[in-house]
Amino acid sequence: MAQVDKLETWLDDVLNKNAPFKLPAKSRKTLAGAMWWLALIGGVLQLWLAWGFWQTAHLVDRLVDYTNALSSIYGDNSVVHHLGMFYYTSLVVLLISAVLLLLAAPHLKAMRKQGWDLVFYGLLINAVYGVVQMFADYGSFSHLLGTLIGSAISAFFLFQVREYFLKSAAAKHKA
């Protein structure tokens, strides 16, 4: 956890304290107050998406079985492969991200750092997954670049509101 704390401190310096552009104070306060709603909506949507992926996986597996059976009936030795490890890794990462957002929502509503930390961990997991996905059959450098740009934008907004979730700032915000 010490490495994550060092990364958090460094990102706070880069994306908040020494950032060339900062959100206006009113926008930061509004975003901090709305984060719990955003986390709740994002978590529910990600769970729904994970359920859709799961159903699609079962449909594709049935189609693969059917295609392989037809192929063997007609004497063709080519085989269509089932969904691989990266598909299920994607599903697990999506579920973890959804659960982290749903767990973060009540803490974000109470303006506790614990909720902010859960969102930050989800951001880190998604960024690491983007790097891992580069090695999948469908992964590419442009996909990695898109994931890293999306993570950087998300991190910018997340660190812009970080101060509202620190203990002393949360007490001032509620008062």
85-138 residue pLDDT tens: 888 888 999 999 999 999 999 999 999 999 999 999 999 999 998 888 887 767
Between CA 157 and CA 21 the distance in angstroms is 11
State residue 173's pLDDT score. Answer: 53
Would you say residue 171 has pLDDT above 70? no
State residue 144's pLDDT score. Answer: 87
Band of the pLDDT at 66, cuts 50, 70, 90? Answer: confident
Between CA 4 and CA 70 the distance in angstroms is 51
| Domain boundaries along the sequence of the chain | 26-174
Between CA 47 and CA 41 the distance in angstroms is 10
State residue 175's pLDDT score. Answer: 44
Which amino acid, residue 40?
L
Question: What does the block give as tokens for 4?
Answer: 């994550």
State residue 58's pLDDT score. Answer: 87
Would you say residue 23 has pLDDT above 50? yes
Would you say residue 174 has pLDDT above 80? no
Give me the mean pLDDT over the 21-30 stretch. 94
Would you say residue 56 has pLDDT above 80? yes
State residue 172's pLDDT score. Answer: 52
